[in-house]
């Protein structure tokens, strides 16, 4: 069955790229509502609402940005979307007074902890999953993402960085019984110190700091507390993928494989999937993949 939150929950933080202070409140919503954001700071004649859907994505440069027909946008939604997927939340109305979801500590854990604290409501409507019926793949310049038929929602990934603390990393998770919480939720976004100046000249990473991202120089992690996992980098890549693919409009019943994946490739993969009506179908989600707690 579908789920929403028991009560509203509010988050205060800074936007990773915009540097703006933001307040965001996630409200319960009725069955069938889906995930919808509302930019409460937009007070002119433009529409405030933006549906969290794959076909609303308007930018994928370092984060996933969605927008509506009036050009109102919202950035860095992927960590929140991953938390919603990991907690099996189908329906929410999310009010936010800025252009970007607050980054919190660079992971999904702050969202997950508050969702668990407020609790969930089981709704009187079946949860629809999107079953992948045949392989769909997108390859760009040696980077590849794919969806394959599977009975359990599975995410696997591979990354390769020329850095002594990263190198080649692989990870796989089957999303069952809320295991997102303890396996991926606290894996943080990461970046390199030598890239920070260039990003800020592009108007990106203006709110980034050691409090909300793993930062590496050529040899080490600059964060005093170090890493949460030795493979935190690939875990975060899969967290991103889970958030990006929840823009499908429901949970995917499929095996995702990402080789050097990106927000851009993840969105292209959803476009490729939904461009082929024979590649997918709606089904009721299996019980062990529906639990919200």
- Which of 78, 98, 122 terminates a domain? The answer is 122
pLDDT of 169-209, one tens digit each?
999 999 998 999 999 999 999 999 988 878 888 777 789 89
pLDDT tens figures, 34-49: 999 999 999 999 999 9
Element holding 258 (H helix, E strand): strand 252-259
Over residues 122-127, mean pLDDT: 96
Domain harbouring 152, CATH code: 3.30.1700.10
> pLDDT at position 197, please?
75
Q: For residue 84, what are the CA distances in angstroms to 35, 80, 108, 231, 238?
A: 9, 6, 9, 23, 15
pLDDT higher than threshold 60 for residue 290 = no
Sheet hosting strand 57-59, strand order edge to edge: 57-59, 65-67, 73-74
CA atoms within 13 A on the CB side of 59: 15
Q: Is the pLDDT score of 58 beyond 60?
A: yes
The parent domain of residue 27 ranges over 3-122
Please tell me whether residues 77 and 135 are part of one structural domain.
Answer: no
Q: Is the pLDDT of residue 288 over 70?
A: no
Q: What is the pLDDT at residue 81?
A: 98
The confidence score (pLDDT) of residue 292 equals 58
Catalytic residues: 263
Among residues 58, 91, 122, the one where a domain terminates is: 122
Q: For residues 253 and 135, what is the distance between their CA atoms, to the nearest angstrom?
A: 12
pLDDT at 142: 92
Is 281's pLDDT higher than 60? yes
> Considering Cα of 109, then 28, then 267, then 45, what sign does the dihedral take?
negative
Q: In which band, very low, low, confident or very high, does the pLDDT at 89 lie, cut at 50, 70 and 90?
A: very high
Average the pLDDT over 272-284 and give the result: 97
113 with 132, same domain: the answer is no
pLDDT at 195: 87
- Together in a domain, 144 and 275: yes
Quote helix, strand, coil % in the chain, to nearest 5.
Answer: 25, 35, 45
Structural domains counted in the chain: 2
- CA torsion, ordered 196, 67, 244, 36, to nearest 10 deg: 130
- What is the average pLDDT score of the chain? 95
So what's the pLDDT on residue 293? Answer: 53
Specify whether 110 is located in the same domain as 132. Answer: no
Do 117 and 261 have their domain in common? no
Phi, psi (5° rounding) for residue 215? -120, 130
- Other C-beta atoms lying within 10 Å of the C-beta of residue 19: 16
Q: Tens of pLDDT along 229-274?
A: 999 999 999 999 999 999 999 999 999 999 999 999 999 999 999 9
Same domain? 280 vs 148: yes
When pLDDT is cut at 50, 70 and 90, the band that residue 80 belongs to is: very high
């Amino acid at each position: 069955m579908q789920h929403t939150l028991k009560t509203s929950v509010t988050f205060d933080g800074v936007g990773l790229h915009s540097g703006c202070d933001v307040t965001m409140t996630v409200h319960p919503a009725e069955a069938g509502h889906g995930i919808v954001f509302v930019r409460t700071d937009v007070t002119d004649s433009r529409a405030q609402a933006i549906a969290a859907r794959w076909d609303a994505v308007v930018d994928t440069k370092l984060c996933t940005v969605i927008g509506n027909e009036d050009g109102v946008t919202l950035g860095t939604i992927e960590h929140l979307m991953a938390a919603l997927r990991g907690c099996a939340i189908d329906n929410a109305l999310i009010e936010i007074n800025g252009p970007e979801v607050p980054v919190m500590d660079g992971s999904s854990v702050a969202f997950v902890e508050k969702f668990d604290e407020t609790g969930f409501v089981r709704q009187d409507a079946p949860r629809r999953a999107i079953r992948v019926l045949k392989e769909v793949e997108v390859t760009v310049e040696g980077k590849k993402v794919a969806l394959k038929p599977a009975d359990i929602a599975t995410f696997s990934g591979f990354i390769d960085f020329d850095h002594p603390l990263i190198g080649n990393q692989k990870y796989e998770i089957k999303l069952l019984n809320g295991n997102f919480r303890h396996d991926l939720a606290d894996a943080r976004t990461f970046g390199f110190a030598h890239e920070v100046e260039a990003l800020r000249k592009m108007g990106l990473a203006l709110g980034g700091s050691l409090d909300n991202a793993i930062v590496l120089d050529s040899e080490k992690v600059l964060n005093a507390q170090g890493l949460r996992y030795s493979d935190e980098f690939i875990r975060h890549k899969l967290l991103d993928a889970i958030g990006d693919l929840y823009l499908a409009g429901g949970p995917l019943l499929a095996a995702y494989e990402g080789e050097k994946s990106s927000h851009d490739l993840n969105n292209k993969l959803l476009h490729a999937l939904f461009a082929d009506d024979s590649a997918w179908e709606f089904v009721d989600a299996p019980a062990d993949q529906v639990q919200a707690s």
